[in-house]
Structure 1
Amino acid sequence: MIEVQTLDDLNYSFPAKPKPLTDAQKAQHISRIKTLLERENAVLVAHYYTDPDIQALAEETGGCVSDSLEMARFGAEHEAQTLIVAGVKFMGETAKILTPQKRVLMPTLEATCSLDLGCPADKFSEFCDAHPDHTVVVYANTSAAVKARADWVVTSSMALELVEHLDSQGKKILWGPDKHLGGYIAKQTGAEMVMWQGACVVHDEFKSQALIALKEQYPEAAVLVHPESPAAVVDLADAVGSTSQLIKASQTLPNSMFIVATDKGIFYKMQQQAPEKTFIEAPTGGNGATCRSCAHCPWMAMNGLEAIENALSTGGKVHEIHVDPELGKEAMKPLNRMLEFARNLK
């Protein structure tokens, strides 16, 4: 039997968040970063879960604020020779794999992901070897080595369609690493899926009973849920989808209030796109010591303005992402399949 690591098996050493900055300090860092982006022929690519100041800076400087799929596309297509990726490490690795000729920097290389940590490449490879007749589909939230072992890489914005496509061809699917997203896809598609038992430290903490109580308090609110959440939470949703899909739902649904079960970093973009609407965090497993994440990824929180400035000003000596070229070539294959499939979905 293959040993599968879960959240309970992992001992997290959560990193320290950047020190709070005054408005004056923020303005100084932002000014310097803008100058450095030009000097270094660089562009800032930020995930929806990063700090609002970083998202705003990416927008102001012609960068990108998006989900991981669009981050990968944007970085590959942009003319800048340096990408600075504000997110977590697998996002930086993906950017490097897709554009090996570019320099890829991150505010910190210590920003990781519980899904990545909970899916070691050697154990996952053993899991794949135990199911040789299955097509291996892995979520983007994985290391370069895990991607290299896969037949397909997907993001949450296209996972349903891809699995449905493979199922229509009679493929048996091995899915990793997020068990909640995998379970949701299996339920929606009816596909035969063998699943790695990983979970996101943020989404795994959303609680259905507390959500029911909050919904009773705000009966007019629509519930938006990311499918990395437990099934009991997903079942309460008015809309289920990726970050970009949830942002769109917040604009198109008629409700004036939303309870949102995903990382609260997304509120910046939701509020920007629908300023007249109200957004409330879905309840998690508790507060303080009883809560691993409290609806915000502790590794995403490591991204700060000072760290971005340091990455650009030092030439990336301790900020540059490196991926073994041969490993990158293997990981490129399923990533390119993902991008081509996504293009055909449009």
Structure 2
Amino acid sequence: MVEEVLDAEERASLKTRIKTLMKEQDAVLVAHYYTSADLQDLAEETGGCVSDSLEMARFGHAHPARTLTVAGVKFMGETAKILNPEKRVLMPDLGAECSLDLACPADEFTAFCDAHPDRLSVVYANTSAEVKARADWVVTSGIAVKIVKYLHQQGHKLLWAPDRHLGEYVRRVSGADMILWQGSCVVHEAFKAEALKSLHAAHPAAAVLVHPESPESVIALADIVGSTTQLIEAVRTLPNPEFIVATDNGIFHKMHAAAPGKTLIEAPTAGEGATCVSCAHCPWMAMNGLRKLAAVLESAAVGKRSANEIHVEESVGQRARRSIQKMLDFAAAEKAGRIQLGD
């Protein structure tokens, strides 16, 4: 899947039409860091949000708009709906899936939990509403270590799903007793440690930034391991003139905006001639674009049911919201100093 290519005239025309439609439908646009620069720019131009999946949903919850348009992948739209059940949630393309979500079917995850009744289940946000509903906790990459460390200190043994690389990183850092689901992200799985070593040797002044969904051998070479938000902050604050970045290259747009004078280099994946599932850009994120966003808003006039609207069954949403709320409550308590984590 290749992102849409627009000339300046079509881009301007689409943006103008989308802005009009959003006003007519009382809509706001929330976009993930991995979507196209056009969508990220449009979100910010219209008072929307560009962020990670959790902040996208939180923003939508706080915003008064009655319609949320979510540019990202399907689980992000579902999370927005779970936290905002009273709002209409639209996506440019409901076929925009996630390899982690697809690798963890709800029925298989339920069986996994049932086979280990003595363990709490902790799932990454990159999962379906049904999986979130079955889980005890939902986490994002930015808070996973803290929550797992806390649960470990409370004496809990854990199940983790779906990303095995992130799970192994969390287990290593936290010391928790964890059984890991064996899923992986098609983008982060493709980063190559030996090629990264060679690239870093050619750019010795560069800091290596790695998302924890990457393989352990790649994480071992990192100067900073962190979530999308944390990696953007590293580019902004670290003194290095160059950065080798091991995550989806859609994030480069926001990194350039945060630190315009710095050089960003893609970490190596499978080399020249790689297929789209082994390059540094998610093929499902690439399914989003201005043309599809305009089309879904055109078809979703107020009072009409859109084929691109996210629906989550009420009882599933209630159970999933409980698991997500635990994370939100933990984050608030930890920020307020009510939770202290040991070394």
Question: Normalized against structure 1, the TM-score is what?
Answer: 0.94
User: How far, CA to CA, are the matches of 1:169 and 1:157 in structure 2?
Assistant: 20
Q: CA deviation at 1:18?
A: 4.9
Question: In structure 2, which of residues 316, 319, 335 is the aligned counterpart of residue 327 of structure 1?
Answer: 316
Deviations 1:104-127 (A, max 9, x none): 000000000000000011111111
1:314 counterpart = 2:299: yes
- Residue 285 of structure 1 and its aligned partner are, at CA, apart by 1.7
Query: In the alignment, residue 316 of structure 2 is paired with which amino acid?
Result: L
In the other structure, the counterpart of 1:212 is: 197
Q: Equivalent residue for 1:27? A: 12
1:148 partner letter: A
- Preserved contact between residue 148 and residue 331 of structure 1 (Cα < 8 Å): yes
Contact 2:3 2:36 in 1 (8 A): no
Q: Distance in 2 between matches of 1:41 and 1:290?
A: 40
Verify the 8 A CA contact 2:276 2:283 in the aligned structure 1: no
Contact 1:284 1:291 (C-alpha < 8 Å) held by counterparts: no
Instruction: Please list every run of 5 or more consecutive structure 1 residues that lacks an aligned counterpart in the other structure.
Output: 1-15
Q: Residue 112 of structure 1 is aligned with which of 86, 97, 103?
A: 97
The equivalent of 2:341 in structure 1 is: none
The alpha carbon displacement at 1:342 in A equals: 2.0
**Kept in 1: contact 2:122–2:160 (CA 8 A):** yes
- Structure 1 pair 158–221 and aligned structure 2 pair: CA distance change class (3 A): same
What percentage of aligned pairs have identical amino acids?
Answer: 62
RMSD: 1.1
TM-score between the two structures when normalised by the length of structure 2:
0.95
Q: In structure 2, what is the Cα distance between the partners aligned to 1:289 and 1:276? A: 30
| Deviation beyond 3 Å, 4+ runs, structure 1 | 16-19, 287-291
The structure-2 alpha-carbon separation of the partners of 1:18 and 1:210, relative to structure 1 and needing over 3 Å to count, comes to closer
Give the equivalent residue in structure 2 for 1:250. 235
Tell me the matched-pair count: 331
What corresponds to 1:158 in structure 2? 143
Partners of 1:31 and 1:244 in 2: CA distance: 29
- Call closer, same or farther: CA 1:72–1:19 in 2, change over 3 Å: closer
Residues 1:19 and 1:275: Cα distance change in structure 2 (over 3 Å): closer
Q: Tell me how far apart the structure 2 counterparts of residues 103 and 338 of structure 1 sit (CA, whole Å).
A: 24
CA distance in 2, matches of 1:289, 1:223: 22
Specify the alignment match of 2:169 in structure 1.
184
1:285–1:291 CA contact under 8 A, matched in 2 = no
* Residues 275-325 of structure 1, C-alpha deviations (whole Å, 9 max, x = no match): 010000000023435552310000000000011111111116121001111
CA drift at 1:130: 0.7
Distance of 1:103 and 1:64 partners within structure 2: 17
Equivalence map 1:231-250=2 (5 Å): 231-250=216-235
State the distance in 1 between where 2:45 and 2:51 align: 14
Q: Which moved more, 1:290-299 or 1:110-119?
A: 290-299
Distance 1:257 1:50 in 2: 23
Report the Cα distance in structure 2 between the residues aligned to 1:331 and 1:250, rounded to whole angstroms: 34
Distance across 1 between alignment mates of 2:123 and 2:95: 22
CA contact 1:287–1:294 (8 Å) conserved in 2: no
Q: Counterparts of 1:1-346 in structure 2 under 5 Å?
A: 16-290=1-275, 292-315=277-300, 317-346=306-335
Q: Deviations over 1:156-215 (max 9, x none)?
A: 010010001101100001000000000000000111001000000000000000000000
**Partner Cα separation in structure 1 for residue 187 and residue 69 of structure 2:** 24
Distance 1:191 1:73 in 2: 29
Q: In 1, are the aligned partners of 2:249 and 2:280 still within 8 Å (CA)?
A: yes
Unmatched tracts of structure 2, length 5 or more: 336-343
Cα distance in 2, alignment partners of residues 325 and 190 from structure 1: 37
Question: Secondary structure of the residue that 1:191 maps to in structure 2?
Answer: coil
Q: Structure 1 counterpart of 2:120, which letter?
A: T
